[in-house]
Chain A
């Protein structure tokens, strides 16, 4: 065999690998271009300083959801997880800075517990991820109400300073998000654990065949996701002066949307943390843009839905479409053949 025949697959593979990233980056650049032309106010320093921390929070929540989706799961307990850490961080200290650290520790402990239960139910008891996390979400909300009674309380000064303050002209929340993103990327690409985690998500059967512990890694996804939601909740508690007990509700759907826009398949597989993070920026900026050009708040969700639909459309027309679909068809027939012969 000569070297020539192998040139084509190279193009295919490069193309396929970069697709999620390229799509989301181009979309974001186009959006920023639109903002500069039609709504410069939406990219002005003041507007960005106000909106970026919320993009950062969405980014963190999205990364958590991504870990679960990578393992072929789905986490509906985002809302509960975020809301719980919000109320724990505001109600427990009740304005007293000295109580903040214990409150944060309690919040993380609760997050680990919630994640472990989710992981056990999905990974070991093999419950459907949607059912398990709906149930868990309700239970977490039970705790939220037990702690807060549903009444908002003012955040402590220290938390407001740490989470809501600025360093080097950028909101601290953004720095936290960047740090979490960096750790995620490093862990995923450079550590043994991350490599195994990706391989298990990409093909759990193959991973089991080489002796990897599939269930434990699936459980870890839920635990880490809760830790991420908890961190996001703490940031919200710091940024918002008087956060409500339902702060997490509005994050559930966007968390899934950024994962999908980032190119991670809802059927599981490789996760794209950087693309997910950029998708969070994109979605946030899209709202800012719509707001600045005078689209009423109401219509913004339609734009988000269209962006999401378009995103999914683009990804489903990539590998699993033409090439993949034909492949799948013939594979399916071949499989039949193999089974039947």
Chain B
């Protein structure tokens, strides 16, 4: 199938690209004549002839750059110029198809994030790879090499890292309370901490205020002085002059030239950045200017403020600026998808966000995420917002639907094999036309097009421009956001340029030109307002901090347990007898161990439905070996077999999930059913009595406390300690918290997942051993209900099903509380009804309370 996808032929277009390539290669050779021997510092990193293609589209073509030690080398270019691809190649995240990377004179093949880190290449992403569920300290410790902390107080090392970048947040604060700017500083601190040979900074100042920017520049100068080669990616000419010695300009994935900053003028740099050759023609612009039909007055929202503009009938408004300066939030607000304050008037009528959702047709930049239902056909997608039009009494009339949709497709020239083709079989341009067909069918009052030609081939672009122009001519206001200034020049009658969420320039008529737009966007000196930046709540005080930790649930759980025990004791004095306490603890131990296993799966963001049947199955297996009269060696073999089988089950679960793309539910569900079957094959009815001496050992009690329970508590405490303070614990939580960020900081995701499911199975063995002593016989019908009970216990304990957050201690407490409640019901002489009602009410209340507390704790972004 893959080859089919790739061959998806646009022969004429490919040809056109080849020509394109030839032209620009000449061009870049001519400009790249700067020898670099003039500067001190040897070449540390050399890229030669790097090319990278996505499907057929080149992201980088034949890029060769040298980076010198002790120098700040800026990479300049518009969005989509290939800067980020280049950076990701150096960081080992992306592999180029062609070209070589030389580090310190040696050719490095197969650069991965881990090997890049080992070489001393550090990267600070514009979107920081900070894991929200881990604390600031844990974020530093999981992503930095352990050697950095060796022999020193980790807190002191971490504090020094924060001080270096001027970040003032408590080390134990959970990262989700940090603002974007603070995360950015933390990310930079991480990169600086390893004293890298090559330091990549990707738009580091995008969210920083002036003070933080100055501090950062000081750091960068010091680092460079010490011999580090700094690669500084930016959009801003002003910054470039402040910090960089050398600059390389990329455009359309090709190198446009390199120069010493001191020797090149802003005009020359601008000339290198702009001048993209547009492959497609634009329709003529609006000739006569009509009355204003769409006006926005001092609109403010998330990431943008005080935006005002108006559009005359027939005009297309463009929104320009460096990506991430509030344009996309403004677009979403105009589409009514984000709250905003201010005035939006359409044909003189003020519209609230609620009205906007229904009036505006939104064409999102990410069509797959938000634009189209890719699993459905193009007919279904196009018709979805206009179903009322072709139906009567709630029933869709197929003929009317077909007519309307095919009319729309015809007028937009959608090229598709049939109306019933799947959306994903179309090219990007035709997918975008399906979005437009949907918009036009719904008779919108307004079109909000966010990056309408992103991922669209050249031929279809021209048609999309034509369609937008036609819609606009009909009197429907069209707002286009594009990071491509040349596109805005060709398409729009009026352009507003945004920087840091504000309008910094409004261009009309002949001023709508690429160089003016780019100059306004990259020349803007605005900085993020200070108050936006430093408003984190200092959750430093001990108690308030504790409430936000994963272990906070221990307090209410213990309280509830004690109160419940006291209440039942007043009703029935036998409740707190040594016998009953031992009984409760013994029952809770089996559930507790299994719950520990379930906790691992849930922290990973998965679930293990197979734990219950696995426990039952292992007991049945044991019932063949661990019998009265068996030799000790056979009994030991039985135990070894239990562990061995559990490891196999864990491996199969993990491998199915990671390498056969099963969802965790599907994989462990199949395992659930299969294990139940295996139990019944081994024994179709209870049999095989467990060795009495072994049972006695397992159920050994000191006073009312079973030793096994003490073991459970010790294991839970040790596991809890590891989860917070050891590398495996951070890895587990990091992987569950955000797989993508975990991958970027160089963790081995697949290995962690598989190991996690094996750990889950191993904890289940311990539970099975307890279960074996309780039942005393191999019963194939036992065990299965431990799956739901374990999930209940873990949720009660406070582990989140979203992954990343969990507590082993809480899970044990959850198991204890659940067992106590079930036991109390019988002591109070209540019917079985209450057993179920209490169980259900407990889990729902716990889930409701925990989710509300968490929502409150997280900082609003």
Please list the residues of chain A having a beta carbon within 8 angstroms of any beta carbon in chain B. Answer: 1, 4-13, 16-17, 74, 76, 121, 125-128, 130-132, 134-146, 149-150, 190-193, 195-196, 198-199, 202-203, 205-212, 253, 256-257, 260, 266-267, 269-270, 296-306, 308-309, 312-313, 316, 319-323, 325-327, 330-341
Contact = CB atoms under 8 A, between A and B. Distances in A.
B8 A5 contact: yes
Interface string B9-43: 11110000000000000000000000000000000
A170 to B, nearest CB: 29
A298 B421 contact: no
Interface stretch (B297-305, B503-511, B831-839): B831-839
B2 interface: yes
A211 B358 contact: yes
Interface of B: 1-2, 4-5, 7-12, 54-55, 59, 79-80, 83-85, 87-88, 93-94, 125-127, 202, 323, 335-337, 357-358, 361-362, 364, 366, 368-377, 380-381, 383-385, 387-388, 391, 394-396, 398, 415-418, 420-422, 424-426, 438, 442, 454-455, 459, 607, 656, 660-663, 665-667, 669-674, 676-681, 684, 740, 780, 788, 791-792, 795, 801-802, 831-837, 839-844, 847-848, 851
Given A7-B417, A131-B844, 7 more contacts: A6-B417, A196-B384, A211-B385, A302-B678, A303-B677, A330-B55, A334-B54
Q: Which of A11, A130, A191, A209 has the most CB of B within 10 A?
A: A209
B392 to A, nearest CB: 10
Nearest to A321: B661
Contacts of A136: 840, 844
A300 B677 contact: yes
A195 B383 contact: yes
Contacts of B87: 340
Contacts of A322: 1-2
A95 B661 CA distance: 51
Contact of B93 (A146, A196, A256, A336): A336
14 contacts: A10-B417, A12-B1, A134-B788, A138-B837, A141-B836, A192-B387, A206-B370, A206-B372, A253-B672, A301-B677, A302-B681, A312-B662, A312-B666, A340-B126
A130 B605 CA distance: 13
A190 B370 contact: no
Contact of A138 (B670, B679, B840): B840
A190 B684 CA distance: 49
A308 B673 contact: yes
B677 A299 contact: yes
A305 B841 CA distance: 32
A127 to B, nearest CB: 5
Given A12-B422, A305-B677, A340-B127, A199 B374 contact: no
B665 A339 contact: no
Given A12-B4, A128-B801, A145 B84 contact: no
A10 to B, nearest CB: 4
Given A209-B364, A336-B93, A9 B674 contact: no
B12 A1 contact: yes
A131 B790 CA distance: 11
B831 A149 contact: yes
A135 B375 contact: no
Contacts of B832: 145, 149-150
Contact of B833 (A5, A145, A202): A145
A211 B54 contact: no
B851 to A, nearest CB: 6
B123 to A, nearest CB: 10
A209 B362 contact: yes
Nearest to B11: A5
Contacts of B791: 130-131, 134
B71 to A, nearest CB: 23
